[in-house]
Amino acid sequence: MKKLLILLCILSCTIVTACAPAAQQQQQPKKEMAFQMYSVRDLIGDPDKFAQNQADVLKRLAEMGYTAVEAACYDNGKLYGMEPEEFKAAIEAAGLKVLSSHTTRNLSDEEIQNRDFTEALKWWDQCIDAHKRAGCSYIVIPWCNVPPTLEALKVICEFYSEVGSRVNAAGMKLGYHNHSHEYQKVEDKVMLEYMLENTDPAKLFFEMDVYWTVRGQVAPVAMFKKYPGRFTLLHIKDDSEIGQSGMVGFDAIFNNAETAGLKGWIVELEHASTPDIMAGMKMSADYLLNAAFVKESYE
């Protein structure tokens, strides 16, 4: 009996030892890596789709290594048709957290002309309250049209600063996300550079979309060095899956994260090279998780 027990113990140890390397090979490095929910809009991009598919889609994304979400469907106090607390609970049930959200109520031409923020700030007050209840750390303005004059752009910057003060008071931060058109000139000044130079860093950070910056014929790292500390978040984006086009220097971007002022980054896919967007999200996650130049965390 004693010999049998010894034999079983040796056999057990042998099996565990043999299986350990395989298990280790399957484990991905753990990194703080958010995704923009717009990427999977065809699956969970509106209230109906979110209600039907969110549990499965979010679980699969968490299993790929994503750790947080940036929302993209806020309306009238709700996110994806849900009360903020319910949305937060759904995200956390999948093992994720709510990092940020894209939403805005920009000024009309008449409001800019009159410098009248009254109605817009009412909208923002409700928006800020909802996002605080949803557990957001950041609210990000995803776009703004190119204004005709620098005077109009000055008013927009004043408005964003007022909104930023209110977001700060709620314990969050306000950011602005660029596309390529912000690298156009308004009169004699590049729009994005004017915004960076005429807003208080304490009230407005910038979420650089590195793909659209390259499309705007500007080097992301050059912007980091010209405006250090202003780029709290980054949108990590490529022509399709991350790292496949060769047009965006992700290694240089991440290697200059400290200069940028980076605190977090978000994967966004406009589309994938395959009809299966989840396959594209997996390919992007694998590339970034295995990239030696991407740190575990930037907080």
- State phi, psi for 125 to the nearest 5 degrees: -60, -45
Mean pLDDT, rounded, for 104-112: 98
- Classify residue 26: in a domain, yes or no: no
Given 3-state DSSP classes, what are the helix, strand and coil percentages for the chain, each rounded to the nearest 5? 50, 15, 35
Read off the pLDDT of each residue in 147-161 and give the average, rounded to a whole number.
98
**Residue at 164 is within a domain:** yes
Indicate the number of domains in the chain. Answer: 1
Residue 190's domain spans which residues? Answer: 34-289
Condensed to tens digits (0 to 9), the pLDDT of residues 208-262 reads: 999 999 999 999 999 999 999 999 999 999 999 999 999 999 999 999 999 999 9
Helix (H) or strand (E) holding 265: strand 264-267
Q: Identify the residue whose tokens are 């049209």.
A: 145
pLDDT of residue 245: 94
Percent share of the chain, pLDDT over 90: 90
Residue 21 lies in a domain: no
Cα–Cα distance measured from residue 220 to residue 200, given in angstroms and rounded to the nearest whole number: 21
* Residue 91 to residue 282: CA distance in whole angstroms: 19
Q: What is the DSSP letter of 181?
A: G
Sign of CA dihedral 136, 69, 191, 202: positive
Residue 12 lies in a domain: no
Helix axes 118-133, 150-169, angle to 10 degrees: 40
Mean pLDDT of 111-122: 98
Which structure tokens are listed for 53?
A: 């598919």
Model confidence at 201, pLDDT cuts 50, 70, 90, reads: very high
Q: Kindly state the helix (H) or strand (E) to which residue 19 belongs, with its residue range.
A: helix 2-26
- Specify the pairing of strand 233-236 against strand 205-209: parallel
**Dist. CA 13–CA 6, nearest whole Å:** 11
- Residue 15 in domain: no
pLDDT mean over 156-173? 98
The pLDDT value given to residue 27: 63
Note the pTM of the prediction, 2 decimals.
0.90
- The predicted-structure confidence for 10-68, as pLDDT tens digits, reads as follows 344 443 334 444 443 456 679 999 999 999 999 999 999 999 999 999 999 999 999 99
What CATH code is carried by the domain that includes residue 191?
3.20.20.150
Q: What is the pLDDT of residue 29?
A: 77
φ/ψ of 104, rounded to 5, equals -165, 155
Grade residue 4 by pLDDT with cuts at 50, 70 and 90: very low
Whether residue 2 lies inside any domain: the answer is: no
Q: What is the mean pLDDT of residues 70-78?
A: 98
Q: Under a CB-based contact definition with an 8 Å cutoff, are residues 82 and 89 in contact?
A: no
Residue with the bigger pLDDT between 271 and 207: it is: 207
Is 94 within the bounds of a domain? Answer: yes
Domain for residue 212, yes or no?
yes
pLDDT given for residue 9 in this prediction: 41
Among 176, 184, 179, which Cα is nearest to 160's? 176
User: What pLDDT is stored for residue 28 in this prediction?
Assistant: 63
